[in-house]
Structure 1
């Protein structure tokens, strides 16, 4: 399992059959346009994560058409790119949708273009259901997490329905133990909201705080920096292995489980929407397809 680093030279790329260096970067005009694109997104107050995601997606598209002037790129070129790059490399529909978002936003900022932005079609969305753990699996997973910081992090994400970015961006002052609420600030879509604070999680938080004494962020790394999402995902995978959970899960699975368990316990969908910070009730409605409360009332004809 050794790892080696070698210089990124044309000779080494030929030797290891990697695309030439010149084929991995856009044309000089493309590089300049990507920088301008980033500036436009920043002026519109897009998050740095979104700017990075869109600019990297756009870069791949402009690398594909590095021999073609940007002003000459048309809607047909997007179709060709989808077929010759996205589909040929078995990339997902969600990734393709990300590319479409980047292309649309980019060509809206270009004055001289043959691209008809409104005519750029999106891939058909796959109607996949969120992966959900049972309450027993959630509690086993958390109980078998021995490190108090890791245990508190997982318990907080599940009990409050947080996104991982919301959990690692959280500060000590965001915990309102008087009202038993958590103030989620500047979340997805630059929205603030309040969500639930569990009494048991509050006990965990106090125990965790007494040991680690974080200064700024609620969860900090070894040197006081913001805790990374990669470290949090690694914690989850280790705990899932201990709990005997073999199917693939992510930290977002805890958020999905929170919403599903609330729905199964009779919580109104509108309240769940507010707790999760969804803009549209349609997004929250997906949990009605994974709850088993109503399904349990149906008698299987095989059992009659």
Structure 2
């Protein structure tokens, strides 16, 4: 299997894909290859029928959602066509139909209740940055000390999704929280601008995304909140609350790092202000 991983790694290195893309693709491909080998087949023997069985396994035994299964299909298709150099047939391996559900949006008060419910300064600072600046979880864990500008009140996000860099805002509240965190974690250590803002147990590595995801789950459950709430919910709340506060959609797009304005425009459906002032035909009009 290592030989296959080398081929995959070379492709993504030549393409200069983000580390997150490489990791997610290989993780899904490895699960598929383990599935094949446990059933006594060699990787060279893989057929479209094997892939069909794996998809049924993901659906019926792992109970994964259509969107997640489609991500597996993309990874497997890449392995099947690029690594094994076999011909793909989309009619035999169709992508699953996704149901577009609107994400859970918390009120500002609920967001602050979540944030204040943790006593861990590092975790609190990360949650504050996700909500206050619209960062992805994968982006906040990779921040370096030099990415924060207290003078210009912005955050530089490098190597984000789609391989882009961008700037987003830094809130006063987030800056205050960061200063408290920094004083607690860095005051007695030597550091440079290139050091991780949120180092893991090994200071040479940043904190893992699962740490903040699991933290959010614990906080949510402790407060008895909706089980669909995740760390990414805070990014959705940033977008929706910004719209409600009158920030133009194009600026929100830039801060979120969306390639298309259409992606950002979905938040129009989630704002309370989007429905304010509209009178129902059930109610009497002006006489």
Sort the TM-score into its range (normalised by shorter chain): 0.7 to 0.9
1:210-229 → structure 2 map (5 Å cutoff): 210-213=183-186, 215=191, 216-221=195-200, 224=203, 225-229=205-209
Contact 2:131 2:234 in 1 (8 A): yes
Structure whose CA Rg is larger: 1
Separation of aligned partners in 2, 1:109 and 1:223: 35
1:44 aligns with 2:24: no
Q: Which residue of 2 aligns with 1:86?
A: 58
Give CA deviations for 1:155-204 in whole Å, capped at 9, x if unaligned.
Answer: 12110001111111111111111211110111112210000011222122
Report the TM-score, using the length of structure 1 for normalisation.
Answer: 0.77
Question: Could you say what secondary structure the match of 2:141 adopts?
Answer: helix
Separation of aligned partners in 1, 2:167 and 2:97: 34
Separation of aligned partners in 2, 1:81 and 1:278: 32
Contact 1:130 1:256 in 2 (8 A): yes
Contact 2:221 2:227 in 1 (8 A): no
Separation of aligned partners in 1, 2:231 and 2:260: 22
1:272 aligns with 2:252: yes
Contact 1:177 1:202 in 2 (8 A): yes
* Cα distance, 1:91–1:243 mapped onto 2, change above 3 Å: closer
Question: Could you say what secondary structure the match of 1:109 adopts?
Answer: helix
In the alignment of these two chains, the number of paired residues is 274
Give CA deviations for 1:55-86 in whole Å, capped at 9, x if unaligned.
Answer: 3322343455556676665555544543x423
Specify which of 72, 75, 92 is matched with residue 102 of structure 1: 75
Deviating more after overlay: 132-141 vs 102-111: 102-111
Give CA deviations for 1:248-289 in whole Å, capped at 9, x if unaligned.
Answer: 311101001000111112221111111000112222122112
* Cα distance, 1:34–1:238 mapped onto 2, change above 3 Å: closer
What is the Cα-based RMSD across aligned positions, in Å?
2.9
Q: Which residue of 1 aligns with 2:228?
A: 248
Separation of aligned partners in 2, 1:34 and 1:171: 29
Q: Which residue of 1 aligns with 2:145?
A: 172
Specify which of 4, 12, 28 is matched with residue 57 of structure 1: 28
1:134 aligns with 2:120: no
Contact 1:74 1:116 in 2 (8 A): no
Give CA deviations for 1:80-138 in whole Å, capped at 9, x if unaligned.
Answer: 543x4233323321222112211222233247524347985322222111221111111
Shift of 1:223: 5.8
* Cα distance, 1:118–1:53 mapped onto 2, change above 3 Å: farther
Separation of aligned partners in 2, 1:204 and 1:73: 52
Separation of aligned partners in 2, 1:131 and 1:257: 8
- Unmatched runs of 5 consecutive residues or more in structure 2: none
Separation of aligned partners in 2, 1:143 and 1:117: 48
1:144 aligns with 2:117: yes
Q: Which residue of 2 aligns with 1:233?
A: 213
